Amino acid sequence: MTDYGFWSLVPPLLAIGLAIKTKQVVFSLSLGIFVGYLIIQGGNFFEGFLATITAFVDVFQSLGNTRTIILTLIIGALIQLIKFSGGINGFINWVQKRLSGKKNFKGKIQATSALTGFLIFVESNISILTVGTIFRPLFDKHKIPREKLAYLADSSSAPSCVLFPLNAWGAYVMGLLVAFPNVDPFTTLIYSIPFNFYAILTLAFVFWLSLSGKEFGEMKKIAEQLPEEETKETDLTAGKTSSPLNMIVPIAAMVLTMPLFLIYGGWDPSVTGGLTDKIWHSISNGSGSEAVLNACFTGFLTAAFMYAFQKMLTIKTFIDQSFKGMSDMLVMAILMVLAFAIGNLCNELGTGIYVSRVTSSWLIPEVAPALIFIISSFIAFATGTSWGTFAIMISIGVPLSFAVDANLYLVIAAVLGGGVFGDHCSPISDTTLIASVASGCDHIDHVRTQLPYALFTGGLAVICYLITGFIV
HEC states along 69-117?
Answer: HHHHHHHHHHHHHHHHHCHHHHHHHHHHHHHCCCCCHHHHHHHHHHHHH
The CA angle 381-352-174, to the nearest 5 degrees, is 90
Asked whether residue 250 is assigned to any structural domain, the reply reads yes
Contact call for residues 37 and 43 (beta carbons, < 8 A):
no
CA 461/CA 454 separation, integer angstroms: 10
Residues 365 and 272 in one domain: yes
End-to-end CA distance of the chain: 38
Last residue of a domain, one of 44, 60, 76: 60
Residues 173 and 318 in one domain: yes
* Residues 6 or more apart in contact with residue 72 via CB below 8 angstroms: 125, 129, 329, 332, 333, 336, 434
Q: Higher model confidence: residue 247 or residue 336? A: 247
Residues 19 and 93 in one domain: no
Given this model, what pLDDT does residue 230 score? 45
**C-alpha dist (Å) from residue 180 to 44, 175, 183, 388:** 41, 10, 6, 18
Q: What percent of the chain has pLDDT over 90?
A: 19
Given this model, what pLDDT does residue 464 score? 93
Q: Higher model confidence: residue 213 or residue 321? A: 321
101-105, 163-167, 233-237, 439-443: range with lowest mean pLDDT: 233-237
Last residue of a domain, one of 37, 60, 83: 60
pTM: 0.77
Residues 130 and 12 in one domain: no
Given this model, what pLDDT does residue 256 score? 84
Range of the domain at 56: 5-60
Asked whether residue 382 is assigned to any structural domain, the reply reads yes
Residues 105 and 22 in one domain: no
Last residue of a domain, one of 20, 36, 60: 60
Given this model, what pLDDT does residue 185 score? 79
Given this model, what pLDDT does residue 28 score? 83
Q: Higher model confidence: residue 388 or residue 15? A: 15
CA 176/CA 284 separation, integer angstroms: 9
Residues 55 and 181 in one domain: no
User: Is pLDDT at 143 greater than 80 in this prediction?
Assistant: yes
User: Is pLDDT at 232 greater than 50 in this prediction?
Assistant: no
Task: Please state the rounded mean pLDDT for residues 207-211.
Answer: 90
Q: Higher model confidence: residue 48 or residue 177? A: 48
> Mean pLDDT, the chain, as a whole number?
82
User: Is pLDDT at 432 greater than 80 in this prediction?
Assistant: yes
Residues 54 and 74 in one domain: no
Given this model, what pLDDT does residue 225 score? 74
User: Is pLDDT at 152 greater than 80 in this prediction?
Assistant: yes
Asked whether residue 230 is assigned to any structural domain, the reply reads no
User: Is pLDDT at 2 greater than 80 in this prediction?
Assistant: no
Residues 196 and 246 in one domain: yes
Contact call for residues 16 and 428 (beta carbons, < 8 A):
yes
The tens digit of pLDDT for each residue in 268-304 reads 777 777 777 777 777 767 676 788 788 889 999 999 9
Task: Please state the rounded mean pLDDT for residues 363-377.
Answer: 84
Residues 15 and 159 in one domain: no
Residues 49 and 141 in one domain: no
User: Is pLDDT at 3 greater than 80 in this prediction?
Assistant: no
Asked whether residue 454 is assigned to any structural domain, the reply reads yes
Asked whether residue 232 is assigned to any structural domain, the reply reads no
Asked whether residue 113 is assigned to any structural domain, the reply reads yes
**C-alpha dist (Å) from residue 375 to 393, 406, 459:** 9, 16, 13
The tens digit of pLDDT for each residue in 29-76 reads 889 899 999 999 888 899 999 999 999 998 888 887 788 788 878 888
Residues 54 and 158 in one domain: no
User: Is pLDDT at 123 greater than 90 in this prediction?
Assistant: no
Asked whether residue 199 is assigned to any structural domain, the reply reads yes
Our count of domains for the chain comes to 2
Asked whether residue 231 is assigned to any structural domain, the reply reads no
Contact call for residues 258 and 171 (beta carbons, < 8 A):
no
Residues 110 and 16 in one domain: no
The pLDDT-based confidence of 229 (bands split at 50, 70, 90) is very low
Given this model, what pLDDT does residue 331 score? 78
